[in-house]
Structure 1
Amino acid sequence: MNLNDRSQLLFKHLMALYLNDGKPVGSSVLAKLPDVSVSSATVRNVMSDLEKMGLIHSPHTSAGRVPTDHGFRVFVDSILTVQPLNSSLTQEIQRGFTQAQTQEELLGSASNILSGLTGMASLVMLPNQEQETLRHIDFVKLNNKRVLVVLVLNDQDVQNRIIEFEEDVSSSQLIQAANYLNEHFAGRHLSEVKKMLVERLDELRRTMDALMLSIVEATDQVIEQKMQKSAPYFVSGKTNLLNYDELADAEKLKALFHSFEEHSDMLGLLNKSMQANGVQVFIGSECGNETYQNCSVITTPYEREGEVMGVLGVVGPSRMPYDKIVPKVDMTARILSSLLKK
C-alpha cells in the first residue's frame, strides 16, 4: 500500500502513540506533535483517508482512532524498523541456557527466557518425535528384575524409563540386547526404528530366547511412549497476559488458555511457521481463530545442523513493541540453534 509522506508520518505517529499506551489517538493530539506542521483540519482529513483504507477505525466509545489488524500488518511490513539487540541482552539470553544439559532442558529454558524477556506468553514447539534420531541404547540393571532403559537421542536428549521383568535378568543378557539394538538401529529416526522393530519381531521370536525377546519388546514400548509424548510444545508466562487490559477479561483469558491446552489451533500456526524463513508475525484474524482477536503471535524456526526442528515464539496483545520483541525472538532461536549443534 502506497502512502504519501504526510499520511505515512501521521500513521507512524498514531501507531507509536497507540503501541505505547493503548488508547485511541485523536487528531488534535497528532496535530500538536513537533514534526507535524499541518493544521488539525488537515490531520482530520488524513485520518479520514487512513480510515477509508482500512488502516484505522474509531471505537464506539471514542472520537480517537486505533489501528485495525490490516493497519498493524501494514505497519509491521512497511514501516517498522527493527533494531539489533545490544550485547548485554544477547549475553542475558545466553546466560539463561547455562544450566540446561539435555535437549529438553534447552527447549524449556528457551521458553522461560522468552517469557521473561518479553513479558508475554511464550511457546517452544518440541521436535517431531518421529524425526528424532536414536544415537545409543543402554540398559542399567537396578536389581534382578528391574532395569533402567537409557535412550540417547540427537546426541543431547537422554530419556530414561524403568521396566520390570517377570524373571531375573543378567548383566550379560542386557549387554547382548544393547549390542544388538545399537548395531541395527543406532543412527536411525525413531519412526524408522519403530517400523523395523515391528517388522523383525517374528524373526526375533525364532532367533532369541524369551527373555532377550522381552527386553527388545520392552525397548519398543519405551520408544512408542517417547513418540506419543502428549504436549507438543512448552508454554511459559501465561499469567503475563493478565498485564494487558485488552486481554485481561476473564472470558478472553479463559479462551486463550484453553487454546494453549487444546494444542490444535496453535499447532497449525506453528506448523505454518516451520515452512517459512525467518521471523513471522501473525496478527489478529491471521492467527486462524477468533480467540486470538487483539493478539499477535511472533514466531521463528530453530534448527539443528541446518535442519528445522521446531518453532519458538511469543503470544501477546497486538499492541506490542514489535521493534523490541522481534529481535528477542530471533536471537533466542539463533542461540538455541547454536547450542543444539553442540
Structure 2
Amino acid sequence: MNGMADTRPESTLAALDGRMRTIFREIVEAYLRSGEPVGSRTLSQTGNLSLSPASIRNTMSDLAQMGLLTAPHSSAGRMPTHAGLRLFVDGLLQVGQLTEDERKAIEGKVTRSGRTQQDLLSEASSLLSGLAGGAGLVVTPKREAPLRHVEFVPLSPQEVLAVLVFEDGTVENRLMRAPDGMPPVTLIEAGNYLSARLKGRSLAEARKAIEAEIAQRRSQLDSAAEDLVKQGLADWSGGSAERALIVRGQARLLESVDAAGDLERIRLLFEDIERKEELITLLDKARDGDGVRLFIGAENPLFSLSGSSVIVAPYMNSDQEIIGALGVIGPTRLNYARVIPLVDYTARVVGQILDGTRS
C-alpha cells in the first residue's frame, strides 16, 4: 500500500467480500489457537469452507497483497500481520462473556489476597497471568498514604537503598545514587530528618515545607545529607516514580515457545518488560479511553522488536477517577476474545476493592 491509501480498519474491512472475510477469519482464529501459519490444504479440510485449496490460495494471496497476511517461509502457510490482527480485533472479533463462575473466581481471589494494597495488586497481576497465559501487569496508584519511617541503607560507595515505610503497612524500596564520600552517619542523619518531618504526612504534603527549610538553611543538615534528602524528594515525587509496576507470570511466556524464532522474541519481550518506566507510560495510555485498550506489535515503539501485544484497562474509584491500570502482555497470538473481558472485569473488581465499595 502507498502512503495515500486508506488503511483505517473500517475501510479495509469494507474492501473484503464474503469469501475473503470468511477465509481471513478462519486463518486468524486458527493461528491464535496454534501459533502456527495456516495452509490452504488445512483450511480446505476443516469442513467450514466448501472451496478447493487452489481457490483458497488465490484468496490468501489477495489478502497478503492487502497487507493482512504474511508467510514466514516460502513453503509455509500464512499468518496475520500486525495490521491483520488489528483489523480482526476491531472488526471481526466476537468478544466472549465471562461466566458467573469466572466472575466469582476473580472476585474471590482478589478479595482474599491480603490486608495491604500491595497484596491485592500482586494477586491481581498473578491472576491475570494465570487466566490469560501471558505476564500480568499492574501499575500501582500514586502513593498518597502517609509515611511512618524513612531509612537509608548503604549498598556500595555509589548506591544507597531508601526504605520507605507507609502508615498502611506498605514498604517501598528505592535505589538511589550516593553522594561522593558520604559516611554512614550522614545516612542516619538524613533518614532521621525525613522520618521526623514526613511522619503522618504524604510526600506531596511535606515536600514543599522540607525544601523551603533546606533552602533557608534551617535544616541543620550537612551538605551531603541535604543533597541526599533533596534527591530523594525529587525522585520519589516525580511522575511515574510515585508508582510501581508489578509483573507476575513471566515464566508463562516460555510455555508457548516451540521454535528458535519464538525464543528470540520472548527474550526481547523480557527486555521490554525490564523497561519499567516505559511500560508504566504505556499503561498510562489507558487513561485516554473509558475501557480496555489493545496495543499490537509495532503499534507501539516499545514492542517494535519483540512484536508483543498488551491488553490494558484502567481501574477507577467510585468517583470514576482513574487511579491505576492493569493488563496482560504476551505474544500477539493471545486469545483476545477471552483476555479482553478478563482484563476489563478484573480492573473493575480491583477498583471497587481499593475504593472500599466491595467487601
| Alignment-mate amino acid for residue 77 of structure 1 | D
Whole-Å separation in 2 of the counterparts to 1:341 and 1:63: 52
The reply to whether residue 303 of structure 1 matches residue 316 of structure 2 is yes
Match of 1:16 in 2: 29
Per the TM alignment, residue 32 of structure 1 is displaced from its structure 2 partner at its CA by 3.0
Whole-Å separation in 1 of the counterparts to 2:48 and 2:164: 68
SS in 1 for 2:246: strand
| Runs of 5+ unmatched residues, structure 2 | 1-11, 150-162, 174-186, 221-227
Greater gyration radius: 1
Whole-Å separation in 2 of the counterparts to 1:196 and 1:277: 37
| Alignment-mate amino acid for residue 316 of structure 1 | G
The reply to whether residue 48 of structure 1 matches residue 48 of structure 2 is no
Per the TM alignment, residue 315 of structure 1 is displaced from its structure 2 partner at its CA by 1.1
1:167-186 mapped onto 2 (5 Å cutoff):
none
Conservation of the 8 A alpha-carbon contact between 2:138 and 2:246: yes
Per the TM alignment, residue 159 of structure 1 is displaced from its structure 2 partner at its CA by 5.1
Match of 2:118 in 1: 104
Identify which of 101, 105, 108 aligns with 1:95: 108
Conservation of the 8 A alpha-carbon contact between 1:247 and 1:317: no
SS in 1 for 2:328: strand
Match of 2:248 in 1: 236
Conservation of the 8 A alpha-carbon contact between 1:255 and 1:291: no
SS in 2 for 1:122: strand
| Alignment-mate amino acid for residue 338 of structure 1 | Q
Match of 2:340 in 1: 326
The reply to whether residue 123 of structure 1 matches residue 132 of structure 2 is no
Whole-Å separation in 2 of the counterparts to 1:149 and 1:108: 19
Identify which of 87, 105, 108 aligns with 1:74: 87
The reply to whether residue 83 of structure 1 matches residue 96 of structure 2 is yes
| Alignment-mate amino acid for residue 24 of structure 2 | F
Per the TM alignment, residue 219 of structure 1 is displaced from its structure 2 partner at its CA by 11
Per the TM alignment, residue 101 of structure 1 is displaced from its structure 2 partner at its CA by 1.3
Change beyond 3 A, Cα 1:304–1:157:
farther
TM-score, structure 1 as length reference = 0.75
| Alignment-mate amino acid for residue 133 of structure 1 | E
Deviates more, 1:106-115 or 1:246-255: 246-255
Whole-Å separation in 2 of the counterparts to 1:125 and 1:52: 40
SS in 2 for 1:289: helix
The reply to whether residue 133 of structure 1 matches residue 147 of structure 2 is no
Match of 1:191 in 2: 204
Conservation of the 8 A alpha-carbon contact between 1:126 and 1:233: yes
Conservation of the 8 A alpha-carbon contact between 1:246 and 1:294: no
CA RMSD of aligned residues (A): 3.8
Match of 1:39 in 2: 52
- Show CA shifts across 1:266-290 (max 9, x none): 2332222232221111111013135
TM-score, structure 2 as length reference = 0.72
| Runs of 5+ unmatched residues, structure 1 | 140-147, 167-173, 211-217
Whole-Å separation in 2 of the counterparts to 1:289 and 1:18: 24
| Alignment-mate amino acid for residue 127 of structure 2 | I
Whole-Å separation in 2 of the counterparts to 1:160 and 1:281: 30
- Show CA shifts across 1:123-170 (max 9, x none): 111223xxx334x5668xxxxxxxx99643xxx665599x9789xxxx
